[in-house]
Structure 1
Amino acid sequence: MDFIEHDLKSLLTVMPSPFLQSETKTLMLQLLSAVGHCHSNWILHRDLKTSNLLMNNRGTIKVADFGLARRYGDPVGVGGMTQLVVTLWYRAPEILLGASTYSTAVDMWSVGCIFAELLLKEPLFQAKGEIELLSMIFKLLGPPTHSSWPEYSSLPLAKTLTLPSPQPHQFRTKFQYMTTAGIDLLMSLLTYDPERRITAEEALQHPYFTESPLPKHPDLFGSFPSAAAGEKPRRKPFESPSAPVRAADYKLVMDFDIPQ
């Protein structure tokens, strides 16, 4: 197997500041492309999280750890589709509420949590248990309603919960520096109703990726010392000056960094 220098979780922990917007867009495009490829081949990953996204020093990420993956559409065995999937902080609300069947939408919820983590430089829902996680989700999205999630009341664990009083979502408060398009994409990923949650193919066409700043070419990403390879930080750790632009690179800069 290829040696990959980093995983995104460890990298975010040691970086002094979050990825630039142009870099976040590049990483998200790669992730959505990979997840879309899995889904088009009937594969649910079921454990997408930053520690399962490997990144090399050339700005390329790879989805790893398919230990919980399964073919979507295979006959459901005895006991149905297990709820013991997806690391807690990235687990979709339908799984938390005991849905006996679920779809590719559970991976897309995880992608939304990863998107938020890239923006915040820390996990979005750092809960200690399932009830606390649901409380955090209700606080950010506002509690589910019949219009936002018609199937909510039919889920096995829905009747065991007392919903908080209705309140508006808190996306704009939590992500103050995001553009309207960026907030829309994040809300489309973190949508209660799995039937309305955006798909990977739809997300790849979202206007967020065509507004300024445009996605940065992976070759222009800075490099970081690899803890996995035993590399030591520089005197000013993880600070990469902007790469000098050669004449041969000018077309890349025009294509990816300057609004058309």
Structure 2
Amino acid sequence: MSAADVLKRSPQMEAGSEPSAPITKKGILTSFLTGKPMNIPETDILGRCRFVSEFEKLNRIGEGTYGIVYRAKDTTSDKIVALKKVRMDLERDGIPVSSLREIQVLLNCRHENIVHLKEVVVGRSLESIFLAMEYCEQDLASLLDNMQAPFTESQVKCIMLQVLRGLRYLHHNFIVHRDLKVSNLLMTDKGCVKIADFGLARWFGVPLKPMTPSVVTLWYRAPELLLQAPTQTTSVDMWAAGCILGELLGHKPLLPGRTEIQQLELIVDLLGTPSDAIWPGFSELPALQNYTLKQQPYNNLKQKFPWLSAAGLRLLNFLFMYDPRKRATAEECLQSSYFKEPPQRKQNKDDHIELQLKLQAILKVGTFLFRNNCVSTKANAC
């Protein structure tokens, strides 16, 4: 039977109604592709979007490029969630692409070190859309700002192990985050780290397709992005992970450039000037056609972190490889001997007492660290 025959027999056609409208028989819908009837499930298998009125906003906890975030209580379960309002004021035709990407990525991710999107919530108008996500008490940037003393090396390892496990999951699922930084790393009061803010995240495939180079916050931006390489890989996330590791170890941003030119200069000052010998195709990158990097032949990571072990320096150097194809992967970093050696500090039987005192001091300014077993000398991640 042809599509025309089906349409001729439909009640809507007999009544002179729109041929693409569903027929009146309960539980049957006409397919727009084939013109044939198709069954409708008795129940909505995709669920429904709840109204934001079912949540009680408690306080505003942050605002980013793509929306405002509230701490809220789900009145049906009394659970606390983070409610992120999607920013619509710059979009004329529906939801911003960045928010659609974030929703799509988070709905497909299930990992303990990736923030969990519980559901999409709507307001009473088409312009009100919220993302209800698991609530995390702190972000890493706030912790760094409020801590008077830097993280111990065992604590740094605990944090980085979790970040790397989250990245390994994303990269194995062909997702590149593209905006990894300390303010996008959330932490629960139990010490579990969650990668968040996926507004710039993209799926990638083979062959690689061109992507916008002006992504990743400047301080964490890989040199291939600064030099306008046409393609991006998971290596941009790994460079950012190296910047985060350096920031945790030094208790301050590692490469705090104010402009792209200054950012490149800071990278060269730290790592030396790249060349085609260590980065094939380097001289052909678009930005270098009108700009010449200064000559600096030395790698100064050891001078920057004189107390860091040889294994720690190897890991940093591996993360800061100029050639993206040679840069460490998350899986390779997790196998690093740096995470297996003891922290470079004195250990004693009263170490847990020292930690408890530190926790109490931080709690006075309203921040949280993590439970004792997360900062043990074994440096096991939660």
Task: State the Cα deviation string for residues 23-47 of structure 1 (Å, max 9, x = none).
Answer: 1111111000000100000000000
**Aligned match of 2:378 in 246, 251, 256?**
256
| Partner in structure 2 of residue 148 of structure 1 | 278
Q: Residues of 2 paired with 1:11 and 1:74: CA distance?
A: 39
Q: Aligned to 2:186, what secondary structure does the other structure show?
A: strand
Normalised to the residue count of structure 2, the TM-score between the two structures is 0.57
Q: Does the CA contact (< 8 Å) of 1:42 and 1:73 recur in 2?
A: yes
Q: Residues of 2 paired with 1:253 and 1:33: CA distance?
A: 17
Q: Residues of 1 paired with 2:197 and 2:138: CA distance?
A: 14
Q: Does the CA contact (< 8 Å) of 1:7 and 1:55 recur in 2?
A: yes
**Aligned: 1:109 with 2:239:** yes
Q: Aligned to 2:155, what secondary structure does the other structure show?
A: helix
**Aligned match of 2:145 in 10, 13, 16?**
13
Q: Residues of 1 paired with 2:285 and 2:292: CA distance?
A: 14
| Partner in structure 1 of residue 339 of structure 2 | 209
CA 1:136–1:254: 2 relative to 1, 3 Å: closer
| Partner in structure 2 of residue 4 of structure 1 | 136
Tell me how far 1:57 sits from its aligned partner. Answer: 1.6
**Aligned match of 2:252 in 118, 122, 132?**
122
CA 1:237–1:66: 2 relative to 1, 3 Å: closer
Q: Does the CA contact (< 8 Å) of 2:139 and 2:183 recur in 1?
A: yes
* One-letter amino acid of the structure 1 residue matched with residue 137 of structure 2: E
Which has the larger Rg?
2
Q: Flag the structure with higher helix content.
A: 1
Q: Does the CA contact (< 8 Å) of 2:246 and 2:253 recur in 1?
A: yes
**Aligned match of 1:134 in 242, 264, 270?**
264
| Partner in structure 1 of residue 214 of structure 2 | 84
CA 1:233–1:135: 2 relative to 1, 3 Å: same
- Equivalent residues in 2 for 1:47-58, closer than 5 Å: 47-58=179-190
| Partner in structure 1 of residue 193 of structure 2 | 61
CA 1:239–1:187: 2 relative to 1, 3 Å: same
Tell me how far 1:121 sits from its aligned partner. Answer: 1.0
**Aligned: 1:73 with 2:205:** yes
* One-letter amino acid of the structure 2 residue matched with residue 30 of structure 1: Q
Q: Aligned to 1:54, what secondary structure does the other structure show?
A: strand
* One-letter amino acid of the structure 2 residue matched with residue 135 of structure 1: E
Tell me how far 1:253 sits from its aligned partner. Answer: 9.2
Normalised to the residue count of structure 1, the TM-score between the two structures is 0.82
Tell me how far 1:188 sits from its aligned partner. Answer: 0.6
Unaligned runs of at least 5 residues, structure 1: 215-219, 226-231, 244-248
Q: Does the CA contact (< 8 Å) of 1:143 and 1:166 recur in 2?
A: yes
**Aligned: 1:174 with 2:300:** no
Tell me how far 1:59 sits from its aligned partner. Answer: 1.4
CA 1:254–1:155: 2 relative to 1, 3 Å: closer
Tell me how far 1:237 sits from its aligned partner. Answer: 8.0
CA 1:174–1:253: 2 relative to 1, 3 Å: closer
Unaligned runs of at least 5 residues, structure 2: 1-132, 345-351
**Aligned match of 1:99 in 203, 216, 229?**
229
Task: State the Cα deviation string for residues 48-90 of structure 1 (Å, max 9, x = none).
Answer: 000000011211100000000010117877xx31012111111
CA 1:254–1:41: 2 relative to 1, 3 Å: closer
Tell me how far 1:166 sits from its aligned partner. Answer: 3.7
State how many pairs are aligned. Answer: 236
**Aligned: 1:191 with 2:321:** yes
CA 1:75–1:144: 2 relative to 1, 3 Å: closer
**Aligned: 1:40 with 2:162:** no
Q: Residues of 1 paired with 2:229 and 2:199: CA distance?
A: 21
Task: State the Cα deviation string for residues 165-185 of structure 1 (Å, max 9, x = none).
Answer: 242111011111111110110
| Partner in structure 1 of residue 293 of structure 2 | 163
CA 1:142–1:2: 2 relative to 1, 3 Å: same
Tell me how far 1:186 sits from its aligned partner. Answer: 0.7
Identity across matched positions, percent? 45
Q: Aligned to 2:134, what secondary structure does the other structure show?
A: coil
Q: Does the CA contact (< 8 Å) of 2:154 and 2:376 recur in 1?
A: no
Q: Aligned to 1:62, what secondary structure does the other structure show?
A: strand
| Partner in structure 2 of residue 228 of structure 1 | none
CA 1:69–1:224: 2 relative to 1, 3 Å: farther
Comparing 152-161 with 201-210, which one deviates more in the overlay?
A: 152-161
Task: State the Cα deviation string for residues 135-154 of structure 1 (Å, max 9, x = none).
Answer: 00000000002222122111
